Chain A
Amino acid sequence: MSAQPPLIDISGLSVGFRGRSGAMLPVLHEVDLAVCRGESVGIVGESGSGKSTLALAAMGYLRHGLARLGGAARFDGQDMFALAPPALARIRGGKLGLIPQNSGQALTPTQRIGTQIAEALRLHCDHDPATHRTRARDLLAQVRLPDPDTILRRYPHELSGGQQQRVAIAMALAGEPEALLLDEPTTGLDVTTQAHILALLRGLARERDMAMVYVSHDLGVIAQVCDRVHVLYAGETVLAGPARSVLTAPSHPYAAALLAAIPRLGARTLPRALDGRPPTPDIPRTGCAFAPRCALATDDCRAAPPPMAETRDGQRARCLYPEKVASPAPSESTAPGAATDGPPLLSTRALSVRYDSPGLLARLRGTPRPPATVEGIDLTLRHGETLGLVGESGSGKSTILRAIAGLLPPASGRIALEDGTDLATSAERRRPETLRRIQMIFQNPDESLNPRQSVGDILAQPLRLYFGLHGQPCHDRAAELLETVRLGAHYLDRLPGQLSGGEKQRVAVARAFAAGPEAVLCDEITSALDVSVQAAVLELLGDLKARHGTGFIFVSHDLTVVRALSDRVAVLYQGRICEAGPTEAVFAPPHHPYTDVLLGAVLAPDPDHAPRLLAEDAVELAPPARGCPFQRRCPVKRGAICETDTPPARQTADGHVIHCHIPLDELHALEGKQAAS
Chain B
Amino acid sequence: MYGLIARRFALGLVTVWLVSVIIFLGVEALPGDACTAILERDAHGEALAACRKAMGLDTPALARYAEWAAGVVQGDFGMSAGGQESIAQMVGYRVRNSLLLAAGALAVGIPLAITLGVVAGLTRDRWPDLLFSTGVILAMTIPEFVAATVLILVFAIWLGWVPAIVLTPADAPPLEFFPEFILASTVLTMLMIAHVMRMIRASVIEAMASDYVQMATLKGVPYWRIVFRHALPNALLPAINVIALTVAWLLGGVVVVEVVFNYPGLGRLLVDAISDRDLPVVQAITMIVAATYVGVNLVADILSLALNPRLRSHRARQR
Contact = CB atoms under 8 A, between A and B. Distances in A.
B313 A157 contact: yes
B211 A175 contact: no
Contact of B210 (A86, A89, A94, A105): A105
Contact of B221 (A61, A106, A119, A168): A119
Interface string B176-218: 0000000000000000000000000000000001111011111
Contacts of A74: none
Counting chain B CB atoms within 10 Å of each CB, which of A59, A85, A86, A89 scores highest? A89
B50 to A, nearest CB: 51
B218 A56 contact: yes
Contact of A93 (B212, B219, B223, B310): B219
Nearest to B226: A108
B234 to A, nearest CB: 5
A123 B221 contact: yes
B83 interface: no
A503 B41 CA distance: 78
Contacts of B233: 108, 110-111
Contacts of B221: 89, 93, 119, 123
A365 to B, nearest CB: 14
A92 B216 CA distance: 10
A158 B215 CA distance: 19
Contact of A111 (B210, B214, B222, B229): B229
A111 B220 contact: no
B217 A106 contact: no
B309 A109 contact: yes
A91 B220 contact: yes
Interface residues of chain B: helix, strand, loop or mixed (majority)? helix
A98 B218 contact: yes
Interface string A54-85: 00100101011000000000000000000001
B215 to A, nearest CB: 4
Interface in B279-319: 307-310, 313-314, 319
Contacts of A107: 212, 215
Contact of B234 (A56, A93, A110, A168): A110
A105 B219 contact: no
Contacts of B209: 64
A119 B217 CA distance: 12
Contacts of A105: 210-212
A100 interface: yes
B203 to A, nearest CB: 13
Contact of B212 (A94, A106, A120): A106
A157 B310 CA distance: 7
B230 interface: yes
Nearest to B307: A110
A488 B40 CA distance: 79
A124 interface: yes
A109 B220 contact: no
Contacts of B212: 105-109
Interface residues of B, number: 26
Identify which of A64, A109, A155, A157 gathers the most chain B CB atoms within 10 Å of its CB: A109
A102 interface: yes
B229 A90 contact: no
Contact of A61 (B218, B222, B307, B308): B218
Contacts of A106: 211-212, 214-215
A171 interface: yes
B230 A108 contact: yes
A93 B313 contact: no
A110 B309 contact: yes
B7 to A, nearest CB: 10
B70 to A, nearest CB: 29
A266 B218 CA distance: 40
Contacts of A111: 229-230, 233
Nearest to B312: A155
A100 B220 contact: no
Contacts of B222: 85-86, 89
Contact of A110 (B211, B215, B308, B313): B308
Most chain A CB atoms below 10 A, which of B209, B214, B223, B308: B214
Contacts of A102: 211
A175 B215 CA distance: 14
B219 A59 contact: no
A100 B215 contact: yes
Contacts of A359: 319
Interface string A96-130: 00101010011111110000000110011000000
Contacts of B313: 155, 157-158
A348 B118 CA distance: 55
A119 B314 CA distance: 26
Contacts of A100: 211, 214-215, 218
A88 B310 CA distance: 32
Contact of B217 (A61, A94, A158): A61
Contacts of B210: 105
B11 to A, nearest CB: 15
Nearest to B310: A157
Contacts of B307: 110
Interface in A256-306: none
Contact of B219 (A109, A110, A120, A158): A120
Interface in B10-27: none
A109 B310 contact: yes
Interface string B220-240: 111100000110011001000
A609 B219 CA distance: 34
Contacts of A98: 215, 218-219
Contacts of A119: 219, 221, 229
A591 B221 CA distance: 49
Contacts of A157: 309-310, 313-314
B234 A92 contact: no
A168 B212 CA distance: 11
Contacts of B218: 56, 59, 61, 92-93, 98, 100
B48 to A, nearest CB: 50
Contacts of A88: 220
Contacts of A63: 214
A110 B307 CA distance: 8
B214 A90 contact: no
B234 A108 contact: yes
A498 B308 CA distance: 37
Given A108-B230, A110-B309, A92 B219 contact: yes
The 5 closest A-B pairs by CB, nearest first: A93-B220, A93-B219, A106-B215, A105-B211, A92-B220
5 contacts: A85-B222, A89-B220, A98-B219, A100-B215, A157-B314
Given A63-B214, A88-B220, A110-B309, 6 more contacts: A85-B223, A89-B222, A93-B220, A106-B212, A110-B234, A119-B229
